[in-house]
């Protein structure tokens, strides 16, 4: 059915403002909070919020509330007249100087997300072992992983931190490559290894690297493991794709993290980016990678000493080539 005159007028009116076009381009590529949009656009909050309200009313933008944080993303139009109009506008904005500046500013904003959590770890460094005792589950998780992989396999421990879990895994007969983006954390990890009986062993190796761009070759390891790491990442789905890349066909990915919660104190005290994850979201990420044998188990909080959310343990297998 063709669009009515009123519907066409709404399309033209909504897409007639250059600022709204800039916002739609940005939100089509990235989910952003108002402060990030302000930084990219160089505009005041009142102006950005006014245009967001118009786009929400038109059904082109959705918001996601995370307690004190509200983020926005574009909702792709479903009506053919909206689709045609947006495609025409978007195609004509390619190569536009303003669009190029927006893209560069957006890249800086997204990069700053990762830097914020990395800066947190550079600050806490060796003290992280004391801070992370709220999790109270390292050794139990190591034993759980040991049931999923065979001894003598090679595991990538993503976000290894001070190396405590990597060393525990090595004691169980597994070779481990511990990866972390903080040099200070890795210094502490090497000190912990030097004080351990495994100091002269070749079963533990530490490398500096970003979870979104892992310093490993394709299919270099038998399994990849991320323990309480996804919540610190700006782009968890990108990190999972990297884990999938480095694992051999038939190998495994294992994740331990918090189920979605509303405990805001974790942002300030633990420096997290996300307040846990919906289980369907995690399953969807793994399915999108074509993984099989997906299993997700939920455990109650490891300790009652402080208000903590439930934990999930997810495992999945990379398909054979």
| Among 94, 115, 142, residue at a domain's last position | 94
Q: Are residues 129 and 55 in the same domain?
A: no
Q: What's the domain range around 24?
A: 5-94
CATH of the domain at 41: 1.10.10.10
Give the count of domains, the chain.
2
DSSP per-residue letters across 146-180: HHHS-TT-EEEEET-TTSHHHHHHHHTT-EEEEEE
In a domain, 115, yes or no: no
CATH code (residue 172): 3.40.50.150
Residue 129: pLDDT above 80? no
pLDDT attached to residue 197: 78
In terms of average pLDDT, the best of 22-26, 119-123, 263-267 is: 22-26
Q: What's the mean per-residue pLDDT of the chain?
A: 81
Flag whether 185 is in a domain.
yes
Domain boundary among 55, 72, 94: 94
| pLDDT number for residue 304 | 55
pLDDT tens, position by position, 269-312: 667 888 899 999 999 999 999 999 999 988 777 555 456 788 88
In a shared domain, residues 199 and 272: yes
> Are the beta carbons of 121 and 182 closer than 8 angstroms?
yes
b/e per residue, 21-44, with b = 16+ CB within 10 A? bbbbbbbeebebbbebbbbbbebe
In this predicted model, what pLDDT tens digit does every residue of 170-223 receive, in sequence order? 887 889 999 998 888 888 888 888 877 777 778 899 999 999 999 999 999 999
- Judge if 251 and 301 occupy the same domain: yes
Predicted local distance difference test score (pLDDT) of residue 130: 45
| Domain contains 309 | yes
Whole-number Cα distances in Å, 261 to 2, 264, 275, 278 = 44, 9, 6, 9
**Main-chain phi, psi angles of 256, to 5 degrees:** -130, 125
- Residue 306 has a pLDDT of 56
pLDDT at 124: 42
**Beta strand pairing status for 61-66 and 175-180?**
unpaired
Residue in the structure block whose two tokens are 């903590």: 308
Write down the H helix ranges in the chain.
5-14, 18-29, 34-41, 45-57, 80-93, 97-124, 128-131, 138-148, 164-171, 183-194, 236-246, 265-270, 279-288
Question: Is 110 within the bounds of a domain?
Answer: no
Tell me whether residue 106 is in a domain. Answer: no
| C-alpha to C-alpha distance for 91 and 132, rounded to whole angstroms | 48
Q: Which of 28, 3, 159, 185 is nearest to 93 (CA)?
A: 28
Is the same domain home to 18 and 140? Answer: no
Q: How confident is the model at residue 146 (pLDDT cuts 50, 70, 90)?
A: low
Instruction: Mark whether 84 and 135 lie in a shared domain.
Output: no
Q: Specify if 99 maps to a domain.
A: no
How many Å is the maximal CA-CA distance in the chain? 77
Does one domain contain both 86 and 220? no
Q: What percent of the chain has pLDDT over 90?
A: 28
The residue ranking higher by pLDDT, 146 or 133, is 146
Same domain, 154 and 84: no
Cα gap 124→121, rounded to integer Å = 5
Q: What is the mean pLDDT of residues 50-66?
A: 83
> Does one domain contain both 151 and 235?
yes
Same domain assignment for residues 135 and 199: yes
pLDDT in tens, 244-270: 999 999 999 999 888 998 887 777 666
- Own/partner contacts of 24-29, CB < 8 Å, gap of 24 or more, are 24/55, 24/60, 24/61, 24/74, 24/86, 25/90, 25/93, 25/99, 25/102, 26/102, 26/106, 27/61, 27/72, 27/73, 27/74, 28/74, 28/76, 28/90, 29/106
Q: Would 28 be classed as within a structural domain?
A: yes
In this structure, the answer to whether residues 88 and 164 fall within a common structural domain is no
Q: Characterize the bridge pairing of strands 247-258 and 221-227.
A: parallel
* pTM tops 0.85: no
Rounded to 5°, angle at Cα 162 from 158 and 165: 60
Which of 75, 94, 113 is the last residue in one of the domains? 94
Same domain as 268, residue 160: yes
- Given a contact cutoff of 8 angstroms between Cβ atoms, the answer to whether 169 and 254 are in contact is no
Q: Are residues 22 and 170 in the same domain?
A: no
């Amino acid at each position: 059915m063709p669009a009515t005159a009123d519907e066409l007028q709404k399309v033209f009116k909504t897409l007639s403002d250059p600022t709204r076009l800039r916002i739609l381009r940005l939100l089509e590529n990235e989910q952003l909070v108002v402060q990030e949009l302000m930084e990219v656009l160089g505009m005041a909050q009142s102006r950005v919020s006014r245009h967001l309200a118009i786009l929400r009313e038109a059904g082109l933008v959705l918001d996601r509330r995370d307690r004190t944080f509200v983020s926005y993303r574009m909702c792709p139009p479903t009506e053919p007249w909206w689709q045609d109009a947006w495609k025409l506008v978007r195609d004509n904005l390619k190569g536009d100087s303003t669009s190029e500046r927006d893209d560069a500013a957006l890249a800086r904003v997204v990069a700053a997300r990762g830097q914020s959590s990395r800066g947190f770890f550079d600050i806490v460094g060796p003290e992280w072992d004391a801070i992370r005792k709220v999790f109270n589950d390292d050794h139990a998780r190591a034993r759980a992983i040991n049931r999923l992989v065979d001894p003598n396999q090679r595991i990538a421990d993503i976000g290894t931190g001070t190396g405590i879990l990597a060393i525990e895994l090595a004691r169980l007969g597994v070779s481990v490559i511990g990866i972390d983006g903080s040099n200070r954390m890795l210094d502490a990890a090497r000190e912990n290894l030097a004080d351990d009986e495994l100091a002269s062993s070749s079963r533990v190796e530490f490398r500096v690297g970003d979870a979104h761009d892992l310093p490993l070759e394709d299919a270099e390891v038998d399994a990849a493991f991320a323990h309480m790491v996804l919540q610190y990442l700006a782009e968890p789905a990108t990190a999972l794709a990297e884990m999938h890349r480095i694992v051999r066909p038939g190998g495994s990915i294992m994740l331990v993290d918090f189920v979605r919660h509303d405990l805001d104190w974790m942002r300030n005290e633990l420096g997290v980016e996300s307040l846990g994850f919906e289980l369907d979201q995690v399953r969807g990420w793994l399915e999108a990678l074509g993984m099989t044998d997906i299993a997700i188990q939920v455990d109650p909080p490891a300790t009652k000493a402080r208000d903590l959310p439930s934990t999930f343990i997810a495992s999945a297998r990379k398909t054979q080539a």
